[in-house]
Amino acid sequence: MNEKMSQAPLLEVKHLRKLFPAKSGFLSKEKTFIKAVDDVSFTLMPRETLGVVGESGCGKSTMGRSVLRLIQPTSGEILYKGQDFMKLSGADLRRVRSEMQIIFQDPYASLNPRMTVGEIIAEPLNIQKKYSSKEETRDHVVKAMEVVGLNPKYYTRYPHEFSGGQRQRIGIARAIVLEPSLIVCDEPVSALDVSIQSQVLNLLKDLQSSMGMAYIFISHNLSVIKHISDRVMVMYLGHVVEMAKKTELFSNPSHPYTQALMSAIPLPERHSKRKKIILQGDLPSPANPPSGCIFHTRCFMAQEICSTQKPELKDIGGGHYCACHFCGKCQQGE
Amino acid sequence: MGEKILEVKHLKTYFHTDAGLSRAVNDVSFSVEKGKTLGIVGESGCGKSITSLSIMGLVEIPPGEIAGGEIIFEGEDLLKKSEDEMNKIRGKKIAMIFQEPMTSLNPVFTIGQQITEALMLHETLTKKQARERGIEMLKMVKIPLAEKRFDEYPHQLSGGMRQRVMIAMALCCNPDLLICDEPTTALDVTIQAQILELINELKEKTGTSVMMITHDLGVIAEVADDVMVMYAGKVVEHATGDQIFEKPMHPYTEGLMHCIPKLDDDDTQRLSVIEGMVPSFDDMPAGCAFCPRCPEARQICRERMPELAEAQGRMVRCFKYTQEWEESGE
Ligand SMILES: Nc1ncnc2c1ncn2[C@@H]1O[C@H](COP(=O)(O)OP(=O)(O)O)[C@@H](O)[C@H]1O
Ligand SMILES: Nc1ncnc2c1ncn2[C@@H]1O[C@H](COP(=O)(O)OP(=O)(O)O)[C@@H](O)[C@H]1O
Ligand code: SF4
Ligand SMILES: [Mg+2]
Ligand SMILES: [Mg+2]
């Protein structure tokens, strides 16, 4: 822990925004935008796992992709090891990119069906022109396959010959082959059966302790997030509503949305005494987000002020951030 | 034992594929008690959906084949019914909700048209009566602005809202049995909580019996009176919900319970895993289908398939709980 504190951040993201043009009625002149990510800031330390959780459509994937500039952010600042990542181009961009990788949810869609497993895993090495000889590249790929638990004899097979869990291992091998410092894991276990999910989660944790990369781990599953993360960020409609160290967040969830999310998980235990907070209604449209606090239309604690005034994301103690006019700790503090 | 509304006996549903015969449902027996919820759990491909489609008479034949068994519903064998007779039972007496409501709603008709069609199928109503009943149904499943939604098309609704419409349609005719196949798997947890609450409320109000299929043991814990665990087309454990969660007996059930991360886990520890993966039908191991993944397997497990037999007040398919286990002592 202390070691982490004394280090410089690996990544600093400041006021990141990503807007998509929304389809507007053909008579309306006004252009409207989907505010997929709206003013997100965080830092990530080396070797740290930041869990990102929230309902589908809240902007998790857009955030993860914007941070890697796989899609161009609308505005904001991204500092990677202190360098301004937004301003990099050409060879510099390529070099920094090689230190950042992404793993996708759907191992089926994200692997090129016409390439062999060996070619898929070698691709990042070839793009970076890492090795001049084929043999060296091959040795490296084989090593990566062994590390993720894929038998190297599958080198010349095609992705469709593999199960979901094995395809996810191929995706992971591809992501680690350049020994990156940062991997964005976008719902990497969401499409897997629970028995395979636990195998992949263990693998990701093992790789982190042996190779030392940081993860931005995106999931809609709070139990998975709790297992894997050091710190957790809760998103709602493109905004961060709460962020804290994992143990703090789970023992003291302060935003009503976080509380509702936690209470809604069905726990595998009988006659749970837990009181469920059942949110009413659906997620509002990010093209037309509610005024004031973006959560007020579904919030069980909302007061008048919530529909008019936007609560700031503020530190309510020890690096626990919460954006709510009435969150438990804010009240005590005032 | 309460009154049984459904009794499935030795059901065998097979698929003829290029790679050979897939025994998707391989000699499955169970029953659903009146007013109770039976949870069916297991990983993908273990035969949960095909079991329910067999009950509904919706298995595509060919490539499918009902190779044997009986499905006794209210005293009669559904497998002996004609297509016409099944049409009268489906929707009226047995209704089903699927995982992806978009595939079961017709995109070119309004919600109202589809819900009134479901109503008119079984009752004669005037147009005006049907509209009123339809809107009433939408209100019952808590769709806000029901009058407005009634005239909208499926794509104008969110996933959670569409699932509510499916539930409304399924409940139109007060079915005696409601089969839910992963009804919340595609939904966010907050919406899942709304839907599960709704199903539970409706069950209490109408006394409908429910078959709840899911891969999520959390959902099972919340809704099921009884639980059936399937693996590779077979029932491996069948017990009450309380029994299963107090002590899973089959090594597969135990593995399932232990491999999911839990909120109160010590998460500095590695997750426990079930090694390997579900065998495909053309690669079935000899003996117990779970034996290549089972931490407790002995020689006997590799030789023969254990029977589903009573042990400690429930049904388990595992040699551990048989006389032979002691004798095989390793
Ligand atoms: N390429 C795109 N064009 C337009 N809208 C998009 C695009 N990608 C995402 N969105 C919208 O941005 C919002 C956030 O999406 P996403 O980041 O995928 O959320 P999550 O990953 O949390 O489910 C959603 O409303 C989604 O519809
Ligand atoms: N149309 C089909 N043709 C061949 N095999 C099928 C077909 N439908 C299902 N199966 C097989 O039946 C088995 C059980 O499937 P299913 O009941 O859908 O599993 P579950 O619902 O438990 O995930 C699977 O192994 C699947 O491959
Ligand atoms: S029969 Fe043997 S292999 Fe099968 S579950 Fe029981 S102990 Fe394991
Ligand atoms: Mg996403
Ligand atoms: Mg299924």
The tokens for B199 are 């199903």
Give nearest CA residue, ligand 1 atom 4.
A20
Q: Does residue A176 surpass a pLDDT of 70?
A: yes
Q: Report the share of chain B in percent with pLDDT over 90.
A: 59
Residue B187: predicted pLDDT = 80
In the DSSP assignment, the letter for residue B266 is: -
* Domains of chain A, each with CATH number or no CATH: 2-99+180-266+274-322 (3.40.50.300)
CB nearest B245 (choices: A260, A269, A280): A269
More confident: A274 or A332: A274
pLDDT bin (cut points 50, 70, 90) of residue A178 is very high
Distance (Å) from CA B231 to ligand 3 centroid: 12
Residue B82: predicted pLDDT = 95
Are residues A268 and B221, on separate chains, in Cβ contact within 8 Å?
yes
Along the 330 residues of chain B, how does pLDDT read in single tens digits? 679 999 999 999 999 998 899 999 999 999 999 999 999 999 988 999 999 999 999 999 899 999 999 999 999 999 999 999 998 898 889 999 887 766 678 889 999 999 988 888 777 888 898 899 899 889 888 888 889 999 999 988 888 888 888 888 888 778 999 999 998 887 888 888 888 888 888 888 889 999 999 999 999 999 999 999 999 999 999 999 999 999 999 999 999 999 999 888 787 788 999 998 888 888 899 999 999 999 999 999 999 999 999 999 999 999 999 998 988 776
Q: What letters, b where the CB count within 10 A reaches 16 and e where it falls short, cover B130-149?
A: bbebbbebbebbbbeebeeb
Least confident of A74-83, A143-152, B221-230, B241-250: A143-152
pLDDT bin (cut points 50, 70, 90) of residue A2 is very low
CB nearest B259 (choices: A198, A272, A283): A198
Dihedrals φ, ψ of A17, to 5°?
-135, 145
Residue B63: predicted pLDDT = 93
Residue A319: predicted pLDDT = 93
Q: Does residue A163 surpass a pLDDT of 90?
A: no
* Reported ipTM exceeds the 0.85 cut: yes
Q: Which amino acid, residue B61?
A: I
Residue A29: predicted pLDDT = 64
CB-CB neighbours of A264 under 10 Å: 20
Residue B46: predicted pLDDT = 93
C-alpha dist (Å) from residue B32 to A103, B1, B9, B39, B69: 43, 10, 12, 10, 16
Least confident of A1-10, A19-28, A178-187, A255-264: A1-10
Residue B230: predicted pLDDT = 97
Q: Does residue A183 surpass a pLDDT of 90?
A: yes
CB-CB neighbours of B55 under 10 Å: 23
Residue A310: predicted pLDDT = 95
Residue A27: predicted pLDDT = 63
Residue B206: predicted pLDDT = 87
Residue B52: predicted pLDDT = 95
A165 neighbourhood in chain B, CB within 8 Å: 277
Cβ-contact B157, B165 below 8 angstroms = yes
Cβ-contact B99, B181 below 8 angstroms = yes
What is d(CA A249, CA A226) in angstroms, rounded to the nearest whole number?
9
C-alpha dist (Å) from residue A137 to A113, A141, A150, A183: 21, 6, 17, 21
CA atoms within 13 A on the CB side of B206: 21
Residue B205: predicted pLDDT = 87
Query: Residue holding tokens 């350049």?
Result: A178
Search chain A and give the residue with CA nearest B194. Answer: A278
Q: Does residue A123 surpass a pLDDT of 90?
A: yes
Search chain A and give the residue with CA nearest B220. Answer: A268
The tokens for B74 are 């209210």
B261 neighbourhood in chain A, CB within 8 Å: 198, 201, 223-224, 226-227
Mean of pLDDT values over A3-12: 77
Give yes or no for residue B288 CB within 6 A of ligand 3: yes
Task: List, in sequence order, the alpha helices (H) in chain B.
Answer: 48-56, 83-89, 101-104, 111-122, 127-140, 146-150, 159-171, 189-206, 217-223, 241-246, 251-259, 299-303, 323-328
Beta strands in chain A (DSSP E): 11-21, 33-44, 49-53, 75-80, 83-84, 100-103, 182-186, 214-219, 231-236, 239-245, 314-315, 321-322
